Structure 1
C-alpha cells in the first residue's frame, strides 16, 4: 500500500504544480495541496502498519525474520 500512498502524494503534488504554472483558480491549487498534505499521515499510518505486520509475522512464523 505504501507505493499507492507515495503515488497519490506525487500525483497531487504534480497537479498542484500544473495548477500553479497554468494560473488555474486558487481553489484548485488548495485542493491539490490539501490532498498531498493529507497523504502524509496516510503514508505514515501505512508504514507503521507494515512494520507491525512484519513484527507479528516474525513472532508467529519462524521462517520470517525481523532484522533490526
Structure 2
C-alpha cells in the first residue's frame, strides 16, 4: 500500500503545481494541497503498520527475519 500512497501524494503535488502555473481556480489548488497534506499522515500510518506487522510476524513465525530498514 505504501507505493500507492506515495503515488497519490506525488500526483497531488504534480497536479497542484500544474494548476498553480495554469492559474486555475483556487478551489482546485486548495484541493490538491489538502490531498498532499492528508496523504502524509496516511503514509506514516501505513509505514508504522507495516513495521508492526513485520514485528508480529517475526514473533509468531521465527523463520521470518526482522531487519531494520534505514
TM tier, smaller: over 0.9
Gaps of 5+ in 2: none
TM-score (normalised: structure 2)? 0.93
- Are 1:13 and 2:13 matched, yes or no? yes
Aligned counterpart, 1:54: 54
**Aligned residues, how many?**
68
Residues of 1 paired with 2:15 and 2:32: CA distance? Answer: 6
TM-score (normalised: structure 1)? 0.96
Q: Where do 4+ consecutive residues of structure 1 move more than 4 Å?
A: none
* RMSD of aligned Cα (Å): 0.7
